[in-house]
Amino acid sequence: MRSRTLLLKVLKTLYVALGALLLAPHVLAQESHIVIFDVPGADTKPGDNNGTYPSGINAFGAVTGAYQDTNNVLHGFLRSPGGKFTRFEAPGANMSAYNGTNPSGINDLGEITGWYSDASGLNHGFVRDADGKFTTFDVTGVGGYGSFPIGINLMGAIVGYYTDSNYTFHSFLRKPNGKFVTLDGPDQCETNGSQGCYGSEVTAINIFGFSVGNYMDNSANMVQHGMIRQPEGTLVTFDVPGAGINYGQGTGCPGCSVGLNQWGAIAGIYNDSNSVSHGFLRSPDGKFTTFDAPGAGTGSYQGTGCYSDCPVSLNNWGAITGVYVDSNYVYHGYLRSPDGKIVTVDPPGSIFTFSVGINDSGTIAGSYADGNGVYHGFLQFQDE
């Protein structure tokens, strides 16, 4: 506990020092190189979208995610900054096909959160500490599909979403002491996914306790809105200018994790009145900048982002990574530098690229599918 407290103090000091540096212009290197990896034991034979699926990267370059073995079982992994792999299972994980362990986030202490499915198909949350010890949990009031932790901060606070016994979606905060707080959006829809309602989800939390996500309202169109929970518990909602007001439109999208940095800046996706996706950056004082990746399609369900399950990541310098969908509905990764320049991120041979995270060194983590439909992990490093 003492060593954790000391490390937290050091990291907080570094964040404050970084804040001063942020006052000066900073542009990511224009040159980069990509490293491709497969977790040992991952199925790399042509099949059913099998392989390696990174889900998060921390400040030191450690990557977590899942891989699918030859029996189609999902397992967790940790890739160290030096490239060493540690494979793991959450206690009680169902080891049958298409079940198993699904890590979703990693903090700078090396703590990993995610979920696993049990023998009955119910999903439970877990935290794996840096020494490999697991703590499993269920959100208070959980039922239906179960608990889905997504983000974890340096203090060990976790955010995500869960369903109740009626399969209605709610968001949650698990405090470092293990207590739960429900974070539903104001007047959110109260039915379930089979009726088009995906309730609310909070997917990111920073060291100061700001939590961010989105929710669907209770109007006939169930429009998406952004949502911020301030550290003292106040909920603030927001809408990006130009966001549509019909079903499947608005600010955010189901399953789409937002980017949040330590200063309170937010990056994400909004969908306009033509159901075209665009990226946005919301400054800590609430000002919006919108953007589109070159090459992004302009038809319905195309654009910068997508209509569901597309993550966006934002580092402390203001660099953003995510995905865009071109006019042929092919997915590509992108990198938007702090000065607004956007470049495509596609590993060689990719037919589908999925960027999931960026750290303060500008290293991007993600996965891509090759021509055989096999997924591989990748890291894109910024060259000096």
Q: In what order do the strands lie in the sheet with 158-163?
A: 147-152, 158-163, 169-174, 180-182
**Count of helices and strands (H, E) across the chain:** 1, 30
In contact, 335 and 358? CB cutoff 8 Å: yes
CA 191, 205, 309, 285: dihedral to nearest 10 degrees? 90
pTM beyond 0.75, yes or no:
yes
For residue 7, the SS3 value is helix
> In sequence order, what E strands does 144-220 have?
147-152, 158-163, 169-174, 180-182, 200-205, 211-216
pLDDT, residue 47, reads 81
- Reported for 81-85, long-range contacts at CB under 8 A and 24+ positions apart, including other chains, are 83/37, 85/39, 85/40
Q: What is the largest CA-CA distance in the chain?
A: 54
In contact, 250 and 238? CB cutoff 8 Å: no
pLDDT, residue 31, reads 84
pLDDT, residue 53, reads 98
Residue 48: which H helix or E strand, with range? none
The Cα–Cα gap between 337 and 346 comes to: 16
Q: What is the pLDDT along the chain (384 residues), one digit of tens a residue?
A: 555 666 566 665 565 555 445 444 455 656 899 999 999 999 999 988 999 999 999 999 999 999 999 999 999 999 999 999 999 999 999 999 999 999 999 999 999 999 999 999 999 999 999 999 999 999 999 999 999 999 999 999 999 999 999 999 999 999 999 999 999 999 999 999 999 999 999 999 999 999 999 999 999 999 999 999 999 999 999 999 999 999 989 999 999 999 999 999 999 999 999 999 999 999 999 999 999 999 999 999 999 999 999 999 999 999 999 999 999 999 999 999 999 999 999 999 999 999 999 999 999 999 999 999 999 999 999 986
pLDDT, residue 277, reads 98
Task: Tell me the sheet residues that pair with 66.
Answer: 53, 76
